[in-house]
Amino acid sequence: MMLTQVGRGTPMGELFRRFWLPAIASADIEEIDGAPVRLRILGEDLIAFRDSNNQVGLVNAWCPHRRANLFFGRNEEAGLRCVYHGWKFDVTGRCVDLPSEPATSNFKNKVKIASYPTVEKGGLVWTYMGPPELQPEFPHYEWAEVPEKHRVINSSLVECNWLQTLEGDIDTAHVSFLHRPLETGKALKWARFVENFGDYVAKDKAPTLTVKETDYGFVYGGRRVGGEDDYYWRFSHWLVPSTSETPGSVERPGRIVVPIDDQHTTSFAFVWHPHRPLSAEEAIANDRTLHQPLRPFQLPDGYIIDTRRSALNKDNDFNIDRKVQKTKRFSGIYGTPPEEDRAMTETMEPVLDRSKEHLGTSDIAIIAMRRRLLRLAKDLQKGIEPPLASKPEAFRTRGFDVVSTHEDFNTAVEECASEIMPPRPAGDAAAADVAAV
Amino acid sequence: MMLTQVGRGTPMGELFRRFWLPAIASADIEEIDGAPVRLRILGEDLIAFRDSNNQVGLVNAWCPHRRANLFFGRNEEAGLRCVYHGWKFDVTGRCVDLPSEPATSNFKNKVKIASYPTVEKGGLVWTYMGPPELQPEFPHYEWAEVPEKHRVINSSLVECNWLQTLEGDIDTAHVSFLHRPLETGKALKWARFVENFGDYVAKDKAPTLTVKETDYGFVYGGRRVGGEDDYYWRFSHWLVPSTSETPGSVERPGRIVVPIDDQHTTSFAFVWHPHRPLSAEEAIANDRTLHQPLRPFQLPDGYIIDTRRSALNKDNDFNIDRKVQKTKRFSGIYGTPPEEDRAMTETMEPVLDRSKEHLGTSDIAIIAMRRRLLRLAKDLQKGIEPPLASKPEAFRTRGFDVVSTHEDFNTAVEECASEIMPPRPAGDAAAADVAAV
Amino acid sequence: MMLTQVGRGTPMGELFRRFWLPAIASADIEEIDGAPVRLRILGEDLIAFRDSNNQVGLVNAWCPHRRANLFFGRNEEAGLRCVYHGWKFDVTGRCVDLPSEPATSNFKNKVKIASYPTVEKGGLVWTYMGPPELQPEFPHYEWAEVPEKHRVINSSLVECNWLQTLEGDIDTAHVSFLHRPLETGKALKWARFVENFGDYVAKDKAPTLTVKETDYGFVYGGRRVGGEDDYYWRFSHWLVPSTSETPGSVERPGRIVVPIDDQHTTSFAFVWHPHRPLSAEEAIANDRTLHQPLRPFQLPDGYIIDTRRSALNKDNDFNIDRKVQKTKRFSGIYGTPPEEDRAMTETMEPVLDRSKEHLGTSDIAIIAMRRRLLRLAKDLQKGIEPPLASKPEAFRTRGFDVVSTHEDFNTAVEECASEIMPPRPAGDAAAADVAAV
């Protein structure tokens, strides 16, 4: 319960409010003075707009005058103007025009709309929703610092609590089941891992997991037995509060889950290559929803947000095909992995009752993450700020997989250290000049 | 909170139950012995039916026997007969046939269904839902007493609390914004005001408002500066509890909002001319939904009522067109003014949190109305009945606008007194012979 | 309130959990290793599946590992395997494979999924959801023991609380109204009763009812006056907790209502002949939904079950036709009787407020049933088990109607005893060898 709720004032809600979180993909709010976008983040209804100066504003959805919804507002001349009585606000929340009062009135200077700072980085618009005086430096995510063509981004709606989504993202064990093709010789098209990845995963379904706590969260390794002497190692990261980076020996995938409210989540997915642009095929491989626009979606309380809901969803049982399930795919779902993942997490209870679980040794990463989050949230309740906030360089990580002769986790990690936690090139200060709006 | 709730026993709910309220347009329940209609008024589920004697009955929706819904009832031979076991009730609620009991039984005389009195007047079926002994004389609304061809009526669903709708109806300031065309030279087609109305409204967007309390509620004037010496005055009325009459120098518009429940409202709109029949153009100008039939609409609790929902509604963002918003209309909504109004009020929270507002001088009518309603509701809680109930002549009002040289509100009102609060012609007793069913 | 709630731990919920209840028609889960089916029974979310050994399993919907929904599971090799991490359970709930843990792990033996025993009998899969040590012998329903061709079964969704549905099923009085054709000479096509049934029912609309308590519930008789000397008797049964058997001098209809949750019900209907196969016409007469498959239906809380919802439902007002109502059918609903019944019970409040009813002499069966259920439920709260559970032979009943010269209920019953409560043929042990899975 404490782990799942994210509203203002809840322990986890406050922890989330200590970190930079993606609000929307830059591509989804591209047009200067274009249509405002409705978001709900951590239970707060917000309007995003790109102003005449190419700054993205993120303000409370409700005009402070009579509480009209600013989604209908006019995005014009460096501000968002409410169409009810013409009040206008800039990206900082300042009221810059209040035409329904006499010209002599000082009322304008007393009115403000709540707004959050934004930063554009790595194809995403990020925001920080915590106390202004505690605003941290932007993390040095390597994937967000590479050139634009090295990376592809997308976002989609997940219709359940954020934690069960995230738990799926850091769960390496289910790869041997949920995402397994049944036809031999068929490669997993959606990701290019080490050669014979499929064979390793099919052969050893009970990987030996090791978790190593770090500044930023943890790195964990899943070891599968290969031949007589070799092991297939998958190294993944979890970064506080809700980012996962999973292996890929060519391009690297990762996801950041951001709570919409307690029962809905946005999953931001990125795929990138550290050293070169992605090929066209690599760029589209990960998600077919990539080129769809945001669309209105009505939440159960009647409020409408703009998001991207997959055509495969719980209303149509993710188009599960029982014949495909018998013969071609373990899951029977003919979608991309995120759709298989959502089929699992969205059809659990909307907020999972974890007291009824039975966790095994394959769940140690999940257990470690819950413990860490609980500790950070409880510390914050006592006034101890999460130490990570002041260490932007700690977030520089990569998922990685390798076939190795090392059986021992620490030895294997050490061997791959430069791939797993690459140092920042000398003189690279790409992130240093980011200025919050 | 006290102002918004209307269920039986709530302070505002009881205040509403001291006044005649429109239940349905006569045209929507025209056929003798026709299909019953499902209404919800002040949170109560009711069935309206026109009986063989051309009387409109308004009874509880649930048969007192086993609580079947009387919507399925047979409207026949001067009564509504439940199809479950054939019990039949007349428009007064009396059980006139109870065929499932032996002929010798006296049970029929012990059974009654709750019913409310109705009056047809001005194209509407009105009801009074308060204590029978306090039933007031029907108000002398002038618009309801003119010949039928002088008037046009319609009703539509508003999907939010009644108060925020009503607050929009008495808010003259938003006319300069929400309903403003952007193309110069384009007349506002939906109403014929004084010549150059559009120019006045566009030129002075911060009208000076004055509210004058009256018996029936208040008259308020909005003064806009015209040329050097002339003022454009708009005089509007608010009549307790929920009627507004707005200016028009040719035909006069008004609206009565009647709560369906705390989150839904029926808006009855009327347009009329004091002295002559409306032209065909005038009669259709105000609402394109005019000739649509009532249709079933499912409320969030699953109950179905018969109402008129606009094709432009919150599910389709009122078809807002951002290009139209940039170039042609301030709102971007290509509908009639009520649809622009609903775009504002329906996309606020369903029941507005007024503690978060910032009201200015343009909101003094709204402030005055809230105070008056609160006082009346609190008085009623203490047992003081609203004094207005016994003054049917007080309700004789007209909206009016004029270009005048008077800067002072009282002087301007005085000049237009016979237009704003016209006396009743001697010998006119049109309303006197109204008898409640 | 006490009578309507059925969740685990509620008085009525516990009473239901002392009896064998139908879960699903056998025909709806026919295929060995076929698709799992989502059910909710007494508020519990369950998955039914027919395994490789032709046994029907009925297990908790949620995998005990991480609570994925087993609807997506693979039904293969004598068990249901979760697609998330491959855990597999047999029909008894035993975990038979747990591949995500090391081969050496003993974890598998510690994991179990809640499951309920099932029996297939009379075309239905039955389950018992109470304490295992109290599991009763399967009742000797005669209709369930006749050869398959003597019987036809169907099930459908009823969108209201189970009790108001059941009350309609044991209410003989409404037959004179709700199901009455208005055109003379038109037979009721949906059931073949004694000759001139329609005449009797139309002539005497206030039948004299008598209820006689029995072991299994009660038998009740409705007497209608026919000619000078003859009476039309309809004998019906109510069997604890929720079975009704109504008369038919050729084939006999009955229904069992099983609560889905407090606001939804499954109605299982059976029609049968004691002595011979049903003709094709007889077999299809009772329900046109018979040959439709189960389909997904979303409950108000968002959960999806597989059920059979009629095309005539509350969303379309059961297609009531007011012209048909005036001229052809009392109800105006052009469906089969269950659809007319549902039009009544589903458009009451979802859970009826019985304090507002006015019950007459035609309601004595309903009153008697409520009293009996309340007494049994209260006794059970005190630890007194329902005595019926140990008397499977008591459930051997038939509905019956007859034209008789007897005015007295007891005399009339006595005359028809062998038709109403037929003895079991010597040597017939059809039910004796039923073994719970």
Instruction: Please give the pLDDT value at position A183.
Output: 76
Residue A310 in contact with residue A333, Cβ under 8 Å?
no
Do the beta carbons of residue B93 and residue B110 sit within 8 Å? no
For A345-378, b where at least 16 C-beta lie within 10 A, e where not — what string?
Answer: bbbbbbbbebeebbebbbbbbbebbbebbeebbe
Cβ neighbours, 10 Å, residue A102: 15
C347–B102 CB contact, under 8 Å: no
Gap between the Cα atoms of B87 and B79, Å rounded: 10
SS3 call for C257:
strand
Cα–Cα distance for residue pair B179/B185, rounded to 1 Å: 15
Tokens representing A374?
Answer: 């609980």
Predicted pLDDT of residue C19: 96
C367 touches chain B (CB under 8 A): no
Q: Which residues of B touch A100 (CB under 8 A)?
A: 173-174, 176-177, 205-206, 360, 362
Query: What is the pLDDT at residue A334?
Result: 83
Q: CB of C213 within 8 Å of any CB in chain B?
A: no
Q: Which chain B residues are within 8 Å of A105, Cβ to Cβ? A: 360-361
Say how many C-beta atoms besides its own lie within 10 A of residue C372's C-beta: 17
Tokens of B183: 């193309």
Average pLDDT in chain B: 90
Virtual torsion, Cα B286, B287, B293, B296, nearest 10 deg: -130
Please tell me the predicted confidence (pLDDT) of residue B225. 87
Does residue C431 have a pLDDT over 90? no
Residue B304 touches partner C, C-beta closer than 8 Å? yes
Query: C298-346 pLDDT, tens per residue?
Result: 999 999 999 999 999 999 999 999 999 999 999 999 877 789 999 999 9
Tell me the pLDDT tens digit for each residue of A36-56.
999 999 999 999 999 999 999
**B67 chain-C contacts, CB cut-off 8 A:** 348-349, 352-353, 356-357
B148–chain C Cβ distance below 8 A for any pair? no
Mark C212-224 as b/e (b = at least 16 C-beta within 10 Å). eebebbbbbbbbb
CA distance A352 to chain B (A): 26
Q: Which residues contact B163 (CB under 8 A, 6 or more apart)?
A: B3, B4, B352
Burial pattern A16-25, b for ≥16 Cβ within 10 A else e, equals bbbbbbbbbb
Query: Looking at A200-204, A360-364, B328-332, B404-408, which range is the least confident one?
Result: A200-204
Q: Which amino acid is at B244?
A: S
**Token representation of residue B300:** 């969030």
> pLDDT digit string (tens) for B269-301?
998 998 899 988 777 655 555 568 999 999 999
Least confident of A68-72, A218-222, C53-57: A218-222
**Å from A31 to nearest chain B CA?**
12
Residue-wise pLDDT tens digits, B5-42:
999 999 999 999 999 999 999 999 999 999 999 999 99
Closest CA to A274 of A172, A399, A179: A399
Q: Do B330 and A74 touch (CB under 8 A)?
A: yes
- What percent of chain B stands above pLDDT 70? 91
Contacts of C50 in chain A (CB under 8 A): none
Statement: residue A435 has pLDDT above 70: no
Question: For residue A392, is the peptide bond before it cis, meaning its omega torsion is within 30 degrees of 0?
Answer: no
Statement: residue A433 has pLDDT above 90: no
Instruction: Check residue B242 and give its pLDDT.
Output: 97
Whether residue C230 lies within 8 A of chain B, CB to CB, comes out as: no
- C-beta separation of A61 from A46 below 8 A: yes
Cβ contact A100–B349 (<8 Å) = no
**C-beta atoms of C99 and A177 within 8 A:** yes
Distance between CA atoms of residues A141 and C12, nearest Å = 58
In chain A, residues with a C-beta closer than 8 Å to the C-beta of C74 are 325-326, 330, 332
Helices B337-345, B162-169: crossing angle, 10 deg rounding: 130
Helix axes C162-169, C337-345, angle to 10 degrees: 130
Q: How far is C31 from chain A (nearest CA, A)?
A: 12
Chain B neighbors of C176, CB-CB under 8 A: 86, 99-100
Q: What is the pLDDT of residue A281?
A: 77
The residue ranking higher by pLDDT, C394 or A242, is: A242
Token readout for C149 is 């061709």
- CA of C355: how far to CAs of A125, B66, B111, C351, in Å? 58, 10, 14, 12
Segment among A217-231, B78-92, B155-169, B197-211 with least mean pLDDT: B197-211
Mean pLDDT of C263-272: 94
> Virtual CA dihedral for B63, B68, B74, B77, nearest 10 degrees?
-20
- How close A136 gets to chain B, by Cα (Å)? 30
A103/B177 Cβ within 8 A = no
ipTM over 0.90: yes
Q: What is the mean pLDDT of residues C11-33?
A: 97
C68 close to A (CB below 8 A):
yes
**pLDDT, position B281:** 77
**Closest residue of B to C348, CA-based?**
B68
B359 touches chain C (CB under 8 A): no
Helix ranges, B224-363 (H): 280-285, 322-327, 337-345
pLDDT higher than 60, residue A31: yes
Average pLDDT, chain C: 90
CB neighbours of residue C146 within 10 Å: 18
In this complex, do A317 and C71 lie within 8 Å of one another by their Cβ atoms?
yes
Give the residue from C249, C142, C232 showing the smallest Cα distance to C191.
C249
Q: How far apart are CA B316 and CA C334, in angstroms?
A: 35
| Residue B298 neighbours by CB distance under 10 Å | 11
Q: Which residues of A touch C93 (CB under 8 A)?
A: none
In this predicted model, which residue has the larger pLDDT, B177 or C429? B177
Q: Which chains touch A (3 or more CB pairs under 8 A)?
A: B, C
**φ/ψ (deg, to 5) at B194:** -60, 155
Confidence of residue A191 (pLDDT cuts 50, 70, 90): very low
Residues 6+ apart with CB under 8 A from C185: none
pLDDT score of A434: 38
The span from the CA of A187 to the CA of B387, in Å, is: 83
Q: Which amino acid is present at C230?
A: D
| A64 interfacial to chain B (CB closer than 8 Å) | yes
